[in-house]
């Protein structure tokens, strides 16, 4: 199958996961909210968050068993960049209340103005960052 078919199929599974989580637990399938919520003090609220994250973690291993390919690719930058990127991703999604899943999928599906704006902003900033790092400022 063509990679685009896999991508669309993968997207459909993500949509199914989001609907399942809302139907069962009444929660938005936003990864930054689910994982970031772990460090806040919500007693009795940890188990489902950890279970969801465990599912995410096990998924590539399941694919490795079934298809012989986990789908995990190699990091593209060195450790200092990974560390800095991690802090920015965590802080930014915490401050902006969502990431690619919460705003980009669930929020757009609800046609939320907040999520449409956030998605436009993080995509534009991601594209600008890649432009600067790959093509430099000389092209501007």
Site for other proteins in 26-45 (CB under 8 A): 26-29, 31-32, 35-36, 39-40
CA 24/CA 33 separation, integer angstroms: 17
- Please state the closest distance from residue 61 (CB atom) to other proteins, in A: 5
CA 32/CA 89 separation, integer angstroms: 9
Report whether 123 contacts 112 (CB < 8 A): no
- Please state the closest distance from residue 43 (CB atom) to other proteins, in A: 15
From 65, 87, 136, 138, residue interacting with other proteins (rule: CB under 8 A)? 87
| Count of residues engaged in binding other proteins, rule: CB under 8 A | 108
The verdict on 140 binding other proteins (CB under 8 A) reads no
The verdict on 88 binding other proteins (CB under 8 A) reads yes
CA 118/CA 116 separation, integer angstroms: 6
């Amino acid at each position: 199958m063509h990679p685009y078919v896999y991508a669309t199929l993968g997207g459909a599974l993500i949509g199914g996961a989001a609907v399942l989580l809302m139907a069962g637990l009444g929660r938005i399938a936003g990864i930054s909210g689910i994982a970031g919520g772990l460090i806040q003090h919500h007693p009795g609220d940890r188990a489902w968050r950890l279970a969801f994250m465990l599912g995410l973690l096990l998924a590539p291993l399941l694919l490795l068993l079934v298809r012989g390919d986990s789908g995990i690719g190699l990091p593209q930058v060195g450790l200092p960049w990974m560390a800095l990127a991690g802090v920015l991703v965590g802080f930014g999604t915490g401050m902006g209340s969502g990431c690619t899943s919460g705003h980009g999928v669930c929020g757009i599906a609800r046609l939320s103005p907040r999520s449409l704006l956030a998605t436009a902003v993080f995509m534009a900033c991601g594209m600008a960052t890649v432009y600067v790092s790959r093509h430099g400022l000389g092209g501007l």
